[in-house]
A and B are shown apart, each in its own frame.
Chain A
Amino acid sequence: MYLVIFLIFGALCIAGAVNLLLQRHPINSALSLIVVMTSLAVLYLLLGAEFLAAAQVIVYSGAIMVLFTFVIMLLNAGEEERTHGSRAAYLVGFPGVAALLGLLTYIFLSVRTPLGNAQLGGDTLVTTADLSRVLFRDLLLPFEVTSVLILVAILGAVALARKES
């Protein structure tokens, strides 16, 4: 049953991602991205990461994507024209994507053993307590450095947005 759910939401995730590229209206693209984010949350849930799944929905599908749709609605962005793009993108792009995909597949397959196997709906459940123990004790320094980084980004945005008086 876990495999069926995985296949459904994996397919939904990919379909949403493809739809995101194909849609011509920005708001449809944004909605496809929400579908992608939410299906990812279900995949996390299948892997036993319940807190991560909830955080994915609250932070990404909720807060961040609301901001996206908000901006699209505020600017009232219309439909985009479909262009053919540059020839260079076709010539380099497709082989580049294929090469990247091949490389990633090769790396993941070759270091399969140290990465460990993920189990769908297995007995492993990463509880919120487990996650916070790792985040706030073992990996405290990287966590704090990341939060300072985000703070710097916010300060930068404020500095850019401030009116010159």
Chain B
Amino acid sequence: MSPLLIYLLLSIAKIIVVLVVLLMCVAYTVLLERKVVGRIQNRFGPSRVGPFGLLQPLADGLKLFLKEDIMPASVYRPLYILAPVIALACALLSIAVVPFGANIQYHYHGMGIDLFEISDLNIGLLVILGVTSIGVYGIALSGWASNNKYSLLGSLRSSAQMVSYELALGLSLIGVVLRAGSLRLRDIVDVQATHGILSWNVFGGFQIVAFFIYLISAYAETNRAPFDLVEAESELTGGYHTEYSSMKFAMFFMAEYANMITVGCVATLLFFGGWTSPFGNLLPAPHWIVIQALLPVFWFVIKVFFFVFLYIWVRGTTPRFRYDQLMGFGWKFLVPLAIANIIVASLIFAPR
């Protein structure tokens, strides 16, 4: 076989593996959320299917597959069908530029294949931001195409909220980019790799304010509590996905959880040192090469798990914002704070 063909096959295999792992993570994040929120609310959560309810995602998936796919009479069909596809596609796309582990390449006839990343781009960070900004359409169009008051209100809220918080989110990342001098995610992690936890952007890079701005705006971007006005059950019955059922509803659901995982990955890469160990070089490097390659992935997964858990924890403990509070908080507090953070970060990094 020609080297190009093998390169192509290996790349496709890599994409499939990453996609399957991501979808498994999505399924088990749903279970984790139900379990943890259950514990927070003093109940058990799902515990009947399999040991500790571990097979619950399988049962849920089967249920959603077998449900009747209802197409309401007065929807605008093309966009009604297209909207969940856009939402899910955008949610899955941004994982393509996320590096999971150290830069290890498999060389074959002069072509290097990254083992722990689908694609290594110079503008990786911008690609994630761009895909996020396209993702708004999934929710906006679903609400409009459903031809339903609640859906339309939900999607209007979401468009306004996501556009507003995108600004604060983008501005909060500038300090990190200033420190690394690059938009490539590997470069951003590499500057945090020297002294373990002390050189992570959140501590050593003096980006702790930027980190909290990022986290808050990311929660708003993914429409999660306390910013889940888009699907506020008490006011909008279900928001933008009121009219959706069966697999189309499942696609929105999966998109939401995939976005949570992506936010966890980006927060890890930008502020928590990506795949680097918190102990820096204090621990001796393992001898066996497989462990050496997989240890960074382990740290990465632990950190992403922490962020996903934080999402659920916040959801279980905070009440929802009112709409004017949400807008006021975004524009009058987060954006000025992010701009001030840029000025301080520039002053810190300028002498270096």
Contact = CB atoms under 8 A, between A and B. Distances in A.
Interface of A: 27, 31, 34, 38, 50-51, 53-55, 57-58, 61-63, 66-67, 69-70, 73-74, 125, 127-128
A27 B155 contact: no
A128 B137 contact: no
Contacts of A53: 123
Given A50-B122, A73-B156, A128-B183, A67 B134 contact: no
Given A58-B126, A70-B160, A73-B155, A63 B140 contact: no
15 contacts: A27-B144, A50-B123, A57-B130, A61-B133, A61-B134, A63-B163, A66-B136, A69-B144, A70-B140, A70-B156, A70-B159, A73-B143, A73-B152, A128-B122, A128-B123
A66 B136 CA distance: 8
Given A58-B130, A61-B133, A63-B133, A69 B159 contact: yes
Q: Tell me whether chain B's interface is mostly helix, strand or loop, or mixed.
A: helix
Interface of B: 79, 121-123, 126-127, 129-130, 133-134, 136-137, 140-141, 143-144, 152, 155-156, 159-160, 162-163, 166, 183
Contacts of A128: 122-123, 183
A53 B127 CA distance: 9
A51 B144 contact: no
Contact of A51 (B126, B143, B163): B126
Nearest to B121: A50
A34 B137 contact: yes
Nearest to B155: A73
A66 B134 CA distance: 9
Contacts of B140: 66, 69-70, 73
Contact of B126 (A54, A61, A70, A127): A54
A62 B130 contact: yes
Contact of A66 (B144, B152, B163, B183): B163
A34 to B, nearest CB: 7
Most buried by A among B79, B144, B155: B144
Contact of A27 (B79, B129, B152, B159): B79
B144 A62 contact: no
Contacts of B143: 73
Q: Which 6 A-B pairs have the closest CB atoms?
A: A62-B133, A54-B126, A57-B130, A73-B144, A58-B130, A54-B123
A69 B138 CA distance: 12
Contacts of A73: 140, 143-144, 152, 155-156, 159
B159 A66 contact: yes
Nearest to A73: B144
Contacts of A74: 156
Given A50-B123, A66-B140, A69-B137, 4 more contacts: A27-B144, A62-B166, A66-B137, A74-B156
Nearest to A57: B130
Contacts of B155: 73
B133 A58 contact: yes
B151 to A, nearest CB: 11
Contacts of A51: 123, 126
B144 A54 contact: no
Contacts of B126: 51, 54-55, 58
B133 A57 contact: yes
Contacts of A67: 163
Nearest to A53: B123
A127 B187 CA distance: 14
A51 B79 CA distance: 31
